[in-house]
Structure formats: C-alpha cells, structure tokens
C-alpha cells in the first residue's frame, strides 16, 4: 500500500488542478449530497453502531479496489491519506470515524447490507441508490480526466490491475 500511496502523491503533484477544478467541485457536491442523505436517513449511524458491535465490513481486502489514481484524486481533493493502518484486518483507509476517502471504490459507495436496507425501507433505499448512481457516474468521468492527464506518467502495471483481492489471492479461481 505504501508504494501505491507514494506513486499517487507523485501523480497528484503533477496534476494542474485548475484544469479540472469545475469537475472536482461537481464531484465534491455529489459526494456531499450522498453523505448528507445517508446521515439524514440513519445509514451512517447504523454503520457506526454495527462497527462497534460486530466489527466493520471494511475488511483489508477492500483496499485492493483503491489504486494510485483514486488515491491521487483524493489527495487533490484535500484528503489526508493515513500513514498507517488502523487495524491489520481492516481496510487501510478506514479511520476512527469511518472511511477517510472522499472518492471511494464503487463497491464501497454502493454496498448496502441487509441490516441497512431493512431499517431504511424501500423508498429511502431507492432514493439513496439514485444518489449513489450519480456519484459513481461523476466520479468515473473525473477519473477518466485524471487518467488522460496521467497517461504519460503511468505505466500499465501501475494502474489498478485485475488482481484478486487479498482475501482470495493464492486460490485457484474456476473459470
């Protein structure tokens, strides 16, 4: 993870933020809109309580979804990247108060466990899914702009590869 973070910092330093400032503002707005609604309907509180009682669903293998470009996007958006992991079995980006990332993997943005869906109900879940879809859409567009800007700096091997998450590495997947 440290290598990914070092690469991401170099990428973030190379980007001219003023060229994508409007895109970043739009992304920041949709992320905040999603989080605001999640707080309003109690999702963040459900997650907090669950993490205290049973542990977090943000396991260490989740961080495999976070590549250098996503880390660089977060750095450019003002996120302080952790210097170390909170706990060995949890995602590197999980802090004391939840995820430290603004731009998160699609898995993290869209995952709603059964407890959440049961407690918030269908109509709230539907509205939340609409906000999540918009966040993923805008995030993907901004990511594409980052990728275009980084195309000379990144080698193919440093982009998120199609590696298996750490919790299944070493196992032979069936095809």
Q: pLDDT tens digits for 135-164?
A: 999 999 999 998 888 775 555 444 444 344
**Confidence category of residue 117, pLDDT binned at 50, 70, 90:** very high
pLDDT at 86 (0 to 100): 87
Burial pattern 75-88, b for ≥16 Cβ within 10 A else e, equals bbbebebeeeebee
In a domain, 132, yes or no: yes
Which pTM value belongs to this model?
A: 0.83
Q: In the predicted model, is pLDDT for residue 26 greater than 70?
A: yes
pLDDT at 56 (0 to 100): 82
Distance CA 157, CA 146 (A): 17
Distance of CA 67 to the CA centre of its chain: 10
**Measured CA distances, 40 to 77, 95, 157, 165, 169 (Å):** 24, 21, 41, 32, 38
Residue 95 DSSP class: E
In a domain, 6, yes or no: yes
In a domain, 9, yes or no: yes
**Structure token digits, residue 105:** 């993997």
Summarize pLDDT for 49-81 with one digit per residue, the tens. 888 888 788 899 999 999 999 999 999 999 999
**Structure token digits, residue 7:** 């690469």
pLDDT at 154 (0 to 100): 53
In a domain, 95, yes or no: yes
pLDDT at 52 (0 to 100): 83
pLDDT at 19 (0 to 100): 86
Number of Cβ within 10 Å of residue 71's Cβ equals 25
In a domain, 121, yes or no: yes
In a domain, 168, yes or no: no
Question: Which residues on neighbouring strands pair with residue 15, listed in sequence order?
Answer: none
In a domain, 130, yes or no: yes
Identify which of 135, 13, 143 has the alpha carbon closest to the alpha carbon of residue 76: 13
- The total of structural domains in the chain comes to 1
In a domain, 172, yes or no: no
Distance CA 34, CA 129 (A): 9
**Residue-averaged pLDDT of the chain:** 86
**Confidence category of residue 16, pLDDT binned at 50, 70, 90:** confident
Give the least confident one: 69-78, 112-121, 123-132, 141-150. 141-150
Gyration radius of the chain over CA positions: 17
**Containing structural domain, residue 31:** 2-152
């Amino acid at each position: 993870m440290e290598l990914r973070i070092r690469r991401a910092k170099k990428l973030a330093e190379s980007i001219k933020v003023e060229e994508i400032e409007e895109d970043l503002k739009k992304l920041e707005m949709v992320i905040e809109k999603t989080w605001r609604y999640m707080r309003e309907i109690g999702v963040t509180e459900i997650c907090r309580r669950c993490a205290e009682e049973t542990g977090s669903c943000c396991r260490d293998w989740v961080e495999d979804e976070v590549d250098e470009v996503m880390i660089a996007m977060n750095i450019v958006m003002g996120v302080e990247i952790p210097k170390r992991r909170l706990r060995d079995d949890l995602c590197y980006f999980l802090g004391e108060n939840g995820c430290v990332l603004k731009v998160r993997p699609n898995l993290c943005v869209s995952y709603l466990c059964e407890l959440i869906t049961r407690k918030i109900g269908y109509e709230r879940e539907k509205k939340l899914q609409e906000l999540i879809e918009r966040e993923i859409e805008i995030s993907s567009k901004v990511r594409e702009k980052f990728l275009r800007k980084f195309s000379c700096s990144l080698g193919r091997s440093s982009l998120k590869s199609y590696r298996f998450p750490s919790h299944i590495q070493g196992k032979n997947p069936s095809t």
